[in-house]
Structure 1
Amino acid sequence: MSSQRLGLSTRLRYLAARAQRINVGSVIERAKEASTAHSKWTPAVVADMLWQAGFRNVGFQDYIDYDFAILTRDERATYMTHPVSNQLSQKYDDPAFRHIFHDKLEFDRVFADYLRREWLVVAPDNAEAVRELTERLGTIVTKEPIGQAGTGVHRYHAADVTDWAEFHAGLLSRGELLIEEVITQHADLAAVCPGTVNTTRVTAFFDGTKTHILAMAQKFGRGEVSDQMTFGGFYTMLDERGHSMGPGYDSHSHVHEFHPDSGARIADFQLPMIDDVIAFVDQVARVIPQVQYVGWDIVVTPDGPVLVEGNWGAGVYENKPSATGIRTGNKDRYRKAIGF
């Protein structure tokens, strides 16, 4: 693909919006965090964070998460950041099709062939269908149509329900309109955290002909309904063959050499069925070709990968140098695939 620079107007609009939202107190707190972690002078870190945000497209949380305080200019340049990712999303994800990824009900309808599990939309007249499905499955997951970072996701056990009419009415009143079968994950994932379905985030770009895998991150939960950080989850970056690149970490300065609950060593993790995963991502990326840049959440099951959701605002998962000892990121892979 020929080189294409991100539009200046897009960048200026993004910077203007960020300037309006800036929380100086939050910036200073983040700077103090970096200063303590890396023995740096706080005012110098504040100045560097502001410079990086204004002139290098580096988000404040990116600066903390990816240890920019200890990286050289050349090393920093290898990292993908959230502002750049946002600009790519705006450029390559057609607004006319983004709603499919926003609305979980619409997403399940469009990508039904790739979910490979039962699902049901809760409606005023299907209380009996809700009961039948829940009793048959034993445990279900419900989702609110619009949500992110694990919000609006709930888990229920049929054995705990005493009044099915009330249960159905409660789902409707709370807006939990999507019921899904709980995914049975591969034994290699369950060995790390059996109580949560652990998703793999595969960030990919479809150029109209080929699907490019830009980055892979394995998320692990803590036994909750979601593996997101809001539920105590964390992640580790995977290499091109699906092997962990080091310990797990989150955006709250927690580093996990071992899973806190199972004791599994995170750096030993190998994503099973990696070739199937790559082929699967290529398949789902072609369903809505107008949305080219997507963060796909999948789960590897004993029978192969299944789709959880797609995020048109792909976000960024990157290497953390202080945890892994690796001082480079994935930006070069993005550039080669997308041409910016």
Structure 2
Amino acid sequence: MIQGLSRRARALAGLWGLERASLVAPRVDMLSRGFLSKRRRMYPFHAYPRDRFLSDWEVELRFPAINPAFVKELLGNKLAFHLFLRDFGLDGHSCGLVGLLADGAFVPTEGAADLGEALQRSRRLFLKPVSGGGGRRCRVVEDVGELPGEGLWLLEREGVPHPYASSIFPGALNTLRVLVLKDARGAFLAGAAHRFGASREVPVDNFSRGGVACGVDPERGVLGRGVTEPGLYARDVHDRHPVTGKRLEGVRVPFWEDLKELTVELTEAVPGLRYAGWDIFVSPEGPKVIEGNGDVANPNNLLQPHRPLLTCPRTVAFFRDHHVLSEGRAEALIRNLGAA
């Protein structure tokens, strides 16, 4: 009982923290239904019944318990994830690990004698901490003098985005977040969103740091409208990129079927994994995985501005089985979806 109260208290504190960080005035009509106030401006409530949307309260309260701790640790450690890809024969689907930087000392993984040779081979490398998320402290480096002298870092080959993405915003990798769930029948794609950078966040495209997020039609791989955090731009919903003016809605993502197959394969390969938010980018040769997230803080930001998550009986059943949805709410949704 005490543990349950503690979990609810943490979830309520987390939800209220997100609400306070928003640039939108609190709205009782949203908060009373478990949604952050800003969702009123972001979600297409006019096009779908409200009960089809997973609420922020349901996510904050139950999502953290879906995956076991050891899975979160594996996916949260970027070095361990690279080793996992290598051992399962999937490293060809990543940018490639060039080496580690431990308190300024270079430890190569691809045969380069030193940092100078590694940079000469790749010209530009992508630096990121072994742990942590949100794109913080990640950057492109071109010179040995730009590298930190403390901490544990990964050095990867710089990813090259497909022209469709770089034409929309040329200053970032422009990644996709793909939510894959795994039930007794196997892994399946539950939703996807495409992120694009904005000028003040080069080379990072994170939505929480000013990026643009578009929903992606899971069947056709076609972008929907773009959404930004309310208050960052003159509008919150965008047919075109708010910085470059390039068209967003209706753009087709290349290699979409390959991308879906890759994220399902990755999810199936990780023992104990029940869901993952895979960060993917599309290169000129096909999809590449950046990392997996087994402890997604709040998937609603990216996925539900385009369409609600609870439009598929299989997805509803997954969230029911992991106690994100109550039995009664799940049964009513499955019944309504079957009648639709």
With the length of structure 2 as denominator, give the TM-score of the two structures: 0.76
Q: CA deviation at 1:87?
A: 4.8
Counterpart Cα distance in 1 of 2:117 and 2:238: 41
Higher helix proportion, which one? 1
Is the contact made by 2:254 and 2:282 (CA closer than 8 Å) also made in structure 1? yes
- Between 1:15-24 and 1:246-255, the stretch displaced more is 15-24
Name the amino acid aligned to 1:17. Answer: R
Aligned pair 1:225/2:214, yes or no? no
Counterpart Cα distance in 1 of 2:168 and 2:31: 39
Query: What corresponds to 1:4 in structure 2?
Result: none
Counterpart Cα distance in 2 of 1:244 and 1:12: 42
Aligned pair 1:15/2:8, yes or no? yes
Identity of aligned residues (%): 20
Is the contact made by 1:297 and 1:308 (CA closer than 8 Å) also made in structure 2? yes
- What are structure 1's unaligned runs of at least 5 residues? 1-7, 33-44
Aligned pair 1:331/2:305, yes or no? no
Q: CA deviation at 1:60?
A: 4.8
What is the aligned length?
Answer: 298
Query: What corresponds to 2:264 in structure 1?
Result: 282
Match of 2:186 among 210, 216, 225: 210
Match of 1:301 among 283, 306, 331: 283
Match of 1:108 among 69, 82, 99: 82
Name the amino acid aligned to 1:126. Answer: F
The alpha-carbon distance between structure 1 residues 176 and 134, as it changes in their structure 2 partners (threshold 3 A), is: farther
- What are structure 2's unaligned runs of at least 5 residues? 108-112, 322-340
* Residues 180-221 of structure 1, C-alpha deviations (whole Å, 9 max, x = no match): 111112222222122211111110111254211111101111
Name the amino acid aligned to 1:214. Answer: A
- Between 1:267-276 and 1:109-118, the stretch displaced more is 109-118
The alpha-carbon distance between structure 1 residues 192 and 62, as it changes in their structure 2 partners (threshold 3 A), is: same
Counterpart Cα distance in 2 of 1:273 and 1:9: 49
Aligned pair 1:133/2:133, yes or no? no
Aligned pair 1:31/2:22, yes or no? no
* Residues 36-78 of structure 1, C-alpha deviations (whole Å, 9 max, x = no match): xxxxxxxxx33x234223xxxx34554554276xx69x82211
Name the amino acid aligned to 1:281. Answer: T
Is the contact made by 1:80 and 1:318 (CA closer than 8 Å) also made in structure 2? no
Query: What corresponds to 2:212 in structure 1?
Result: 234
Is the contact made by 1:243 and 1:268 (CA closer than 8 Å) also made in structure 2? no
Counterpart Cα distance in 2 of 1:219 and 1:288: 25
Name the amino acid aligned to 1:310. Answer: G
Counterpart Cα distance in 2 of 1:238 and 1:252: 20
Aligned pair 1:171/2:156, yes or no? no
Is the contact made by 2:42 and 2:237 (CA closer than 8 Å) also made in structure 1? no
Counterpart Cα distance in 2 of 1:233 and 1:305: 21
With the length of structure 1 as denominator, give the TM-score of the two structures: 0.76
Counterpart Cα distance in 2 of 1:78 and 1:94: 27
Query: What corresponds to 2:324 in structure 1?
Result: none
Q: CA deviation at 1:261?
A: 4.2
Counterpart Cα distance in 2 of 1:285 and 1:232: 29
Counterpart Cα distance in 1 of 2:246 and 2:257: 24
| SS across alignment from 1:97 | helix
Counterpart Cα distance in 1 of 2:187 and 2:84: 19
Is the contact made by 1:66 and 1:318 (CA closer than 8 Å) also made in structure 2? no
